[in-house]
Structure 1
Amino acid sequence: MQTTLSEQAKRLPRGEEAESILRSCVHCGFCNATCPTYQLLGDELDGPRGRIYLIKQVLEGKEVTEKTQLHLDRCLSCRNCETTCPSGVNYHNLLDIGRAVVDAAVPRPLSQRVLRESLRAVVPNAGLFKTLTQMGNSFRPLLPGSLKDKLPGNIRPPKARPTQQHARQVLILEGCVQPGLSPNTNAATARVLDRLGISVKSIAQAGCCGAVDYHLNAQEQGLDRARRNIDAWWPSLQAGAEAIVQTASGCGAFVKDYGHMLRDDPAYADKAAQVSALTKDLVEVLRAEPLEKLGACTSTKLAFHCPCTLQHAQKLGGAVEAVLTRLGFNLTPVPDGHLCCGSAGTYSITQPTLSKQLRDNKMNALESGRPEVIATANIGCQTHLASAGRTPVKHWIELIEDALHPS
């Protein structure tokens, strides 16, 4: 795609990157065929090709409007288009650049600013989020339906984590919302890995991965969280920890991008690249181990929802399904498994109507094979799908632990 960036755009810190990405697009439109919002709305500007043109116009100095902002806001950042694109267009980075420029030019209404700042204040703060979740459940009958749906009905309390120390050790990111919404997920991970001779270590100083800030147009604050996490993990990595395990694929996708996002930071570029290289989704660790040692026994019929951050961002589509099949689970087919469920971080709050439509479509697909339970790999997707109040939704590692013989 031919581009003529304005002088102002050329001076942007990521101006050259944006121009390179724009030039890689051949305007073929294959991306629209797999874009969830384009399928719902049928508007060229609500598909990747149209959004690329909007960003191109902005960077070439054309007028920036609220309409431009709306179409960029409606993007889920699911990266399905990147999986489809024959030209390898690095769409998600272009979107980040475009959103930052547009938001700097178009002030948001007060209601939107308050909502976004509230999300940034609450969601990345694990302690505050957990407290508010507990309070919300205590007053659940009094809450409006829209808020009640966001709270999980039955939060499974975690069992004790193993205390035995093995020669092999991995770090784990506790995350910001998962301790409040699904506290047993990381505990189950620690117990399953313990059976395989791997110790799990949590670093208290490592908090939110930074994605919430970054995708709500507070990119520098998101990068500051990345730097703090790198500092927190670095001594343990130097001491021999073999990986940083992520049980939420959304966090995993973002941490794996630290190296790219901090590549121009002289103090953190090398460390960020090493952290990204050592970051693994839980399935990457588990699939390499002798799973027969776990002694699993199950024929549970389940449907697996593969989050966008697992299949499109981390390119691990099919990996969890293969592990579950090895352990005896009976997986049902899921039509259109490549499509987003509508969770997409804070999207279910900032774009509730579209998000609910996508959720209901995804639930219909997941339930088409009549599974007993739905498994997924990301806390946001898990909570969002469960809010439909239909088939139970759990993290896949908890289902594996439930299938194990007592040790």
Structure 2
Amino acid sequence: MQTTLSETARHLPRAEEAESILRTCVHCGFCNATCPTYQLLGDELDGPRGRIYLIKQVLEGNEVTQKTQQHLDRCLSCRNCETTCPSGVDYHNLLDIGRAVVDAAVPRSIDQRLLREGLRSVVPNPGLFKALVSSGQVFRALLPNTLQAKLPRHVFPSRPRPVTRHARQVLMLEGCVQPSLSPNTNAAAARVLDRLGISVTSSSGAGCCGAVDYHLDAQAAGLDRARRNIDAWWPSIENGAEAIVQTASGCGAFIKDYGHLLERDPAYAEKAKRVSALARDLVEVLSDEPLETLGVHSDQRLAFHCPCTLQHAQKLGGAVEAMLIRLGFNLTAVPDSHLCCGSAGTYSITQPELSRQLRDNKLNALESGHPDVIVTANIGCQSHLDGAGRTPVRHWIELVEAALPSTIPGETP
């Protein structure tokens, strides 16, 4: 696409990157066919091609309006369009650049500012988030249905984790909301890895991956969180940690982008690149291990929801399904498995109506094969889908861990 950046846009830190991405787009429109918001709304400006054109107009010096901001806000950042695009357009990075310019030019209403600042204060803060969830559970019956749906229906308590005992060690990102909404997920991952001779260590200095801030009008704050995580992990990396494991694919997608997002920071560029190279979703770690030695047995029917951050961002579509089949689980077919469930980080709060429509469509597809349980690989998707009060939704590693025998050959009971 022919592009001529304005003089102002040429001075942006990522101007060259934006221009390169815009020139990659041939405006074919294949992306609209798999865009969730375009499918719901049928508006060209609520599809990737239209949003690219809006960003092009902004960077070429045209007027920035609230309407422009609204169409960019409606994007889920699911990156389905990137999987579909025959030209390899790096859409999500262009969207980040465009959103930053638009948000700087168009003031939000007071209620929108309060909502976004509130989310940024609460979600990345595990202690505060846990306190609010605990209070919500106590007063659940008094809360409106919209808030009740955000609380977990069932909290499976975290069982003790194995002690660090193996030469092979990996770091694990604990996450922001997962310790409160699904506290057993990381513990289950640690126990399965322990059975395979890998010990999990966590770093107390590591916190939120930074995605919440970064995608809520605070990109600088998000990158500061990335730097703090790099500092927290670096001693363990120097001591030989094999990987930085994530059980939440949304966090993993963002950490794998640290190297790109911090490439202009001379103090962190090389370290960020190293951290991104070490970041691995749990399924990537387990896929290389002798899973048959685990002795997993289960006759449950599972439907797997593959999060957008796993299949479109990390390009790991089909990896969990293949692993679950390899372990002997019975997986049901899921129509339109490439489409977003509508969670998309904080999207279910900032765009509730669109999010609910996408959730209900996704649940209809997941439930079409009559599964006993729906499993997924991201806490946001898990909480969002389970909040509908229909088929139970869990993280897939919990089902794997539950299907393990109490002991394995050669292990002392």
Same fold (TM over 0.5): yes
- Per the alignment, residue 293 of structure 1 pairs with 293
- Per the alignment, residue 224 of structure 1 pairs with 224
State the superposition RMSD in angstroms: 0.5
Letter in 2 for 1:322: A
- Kindly indicate whether residue 271 of structure 2 is the aligned counterpart of residue 274 of structure 1: no
Contact 2:3 2:56 (8 Å CA) reproduced: yes
SS state at 1:7 partner: coil
TM-score, structure 2 as length reference: 0.98
- Per the alignment, residue 339 of structure 1 pairs with 339
Unaligned runs of 5+ in 2: 408-413
Which contiguous aligned blocks of 4+ residues in structure 1 show a shift greater than 2 angstroms?
A: none
Contact 1:137 1:153 (8 Å CA) reproduced: no
Letter in 2 for 1:294: L
- Per the alignment, residue 377 of structure 1 pairs with 377
- Per the alignment, residue 396 of structure 1 pairs with 396
- The 5 Å alignment of 1:163-174 reads 163-174=163-174
Quote the offset at 1:164 in angstroms.
Answer: 4.3
Letter in 2 for 1:389: G
- Kindly indicate whether residue 338 of structure 2 is the aligned counterpart of residue 355 of structure 1: no
SS state at 1:286 partner: helix
- The 5 Å alignment of 1:133-212 reads 133-212=133-212
Letter in 1 for 2:209: C
Q: Give the Cα separation in 2 of the matches to 1:51 and 1:159.
A: 46
- The 5 Å alignment of 1:259-270 reads 259-270=259-270
Quote the offset at 1:217 in angstroms.
Answer: 1.2
Task: Encode CA deviations 1:222-243: one digit per residue, 9 max, x unaligned.
Answer: 0000000000000001001100
Quote the offset at 1:347 in angstroms.
Answer: 0.1
Task: Encode CA deviations 1:379-399: one digit per residue, 9 max, x unaligned.
Answer: 000000001100000000000
- Per the alignment, residue 214 of structure 2 pairs with 214
Quote the offset at 1:327 in angstroms.
Answer: 0.7
Letter in 2 for 1:80: N
Letter in 1 for 2:255: V
- Per the alignment, residue 61 of structure 1 pairs with 61
- Per the alignment, residue 411 of structure 2 pairs with none
- Per the alignment, residue 72 of structure 1 pairs with 72
Letter in 1 for 2:16: E
- Kindly indicate whether residue 131 of structure 2 is the aligned counterpart of residue 116 of structure 1: no
Aligned pairs, number: 407
- Kindly indicate whether residue 309 of structure 2 is the aligned counterpart of residue 309 of structure 1: yes
Which has the higher mean CA deviation after the structures are superposed, 292-301 or 192-201? Answer: 292-301
- The 5 Å alignment of 1:311-330 reads 311-330=311-330
Task: Encode CA deviations 1:267-300: one digit per residue, 9 max, x unaligned.
Answer: 0000000000000000000011000111101121
Identity of aligned residues (%): 79
Contact 2:164 2:201 (8 Å CA) reproduced: no
- Per the alignment, residue 4 of structure 2 pairs with 4
- Per the alignment, residue 39 of structure 2 pairs with 39
Q: Give the Cα separation in 1 of the matches to 2:215 and 2:130.
A: 22
Task: Encode CA deviations 1:294-342: one digit per residue, 9 max, x unaligned.
Answer: 1101121110000000000000000000110011100000000000000
Q: Give the Cα separation in 2 of the matches to 1:270 and 1:105.
A: 33
Contact 2:150 2:384 (8 Å CA) reproduced: yes
Q: Give the Cα separation in 1 of the matches to 2:173 and 2:165.
A: 18
SS state at 2:368 partner: helix
Q: Give the Cα separation in 2 of the matches to 1:174 and 1:163.
A: 16
Which has the higher mean CA deviation after the structures are superposed, 37-46 or 289-298? Answer: 289-298
Q: Give the Cα separation in 2 of the matches to 1:23 and 1:130.
A: 45
Contact 2:342 2:348 (8 Å CA) reproduced: yes
Task: Encode CA deviations 1:141-180: one digit per residue, 9 max, x unaligned.
Answer: 0101111111012111100000141010000000100011
Contact 1:303 1:374 (8 Å CA) reproduced: yes
SS state at 2:364 partner: helix
Q: Give the Cα separation in 2 of the matches to 1:101 and 1:163.
A: 48
Task: Encode CA deviations 1:104-139: one digit per residue, 9 max, x unaligned.
Answer: 110000000000000000000011101110111110
Letter in 1 for 2:227: R
Q: Give the Cα separation in 2 of the matches to 1:233 and 1:217.
A: 26
Q: Give the Cα separation in 2 of the matches to 1:56 and 1:44.
A: 15
- Kindly indicate whether residue 94 of structure 2 is the aligned counterpart of residue 87 of structure 1: no
Q: Give the Cα separation in 1 of the matches to 2:31 and 2:299.
A: 37
Q: Give the Cα separation in 2 of the matches to 1:393 and 1:153.
A: 10
Letter in 2 for 1:191: R
SS state at 2:208 partner: coil
SS state at 1:369 partner: coil
Quote the offset at 1:255 in angstroms.
Answer: 0.1
Q: Give the Cα separation in 1 of the matches to 2:288 and 2:71.
A: 42
- Kindly indicate whether residue 264 of structure 2 is the aligned counterpart of residue 284 of structure 1: no
TM-score, structure 1 as length reference: 1.00
Contact 1:213 1:221 (8 Å CA) reproduced: yes
- Per the alignment, residue 23 of structure 1 pairs with 23
Letter in 1 for 2:11: R
Letter in 1 for 2:72: L
SS state at 1:170 partner: strand
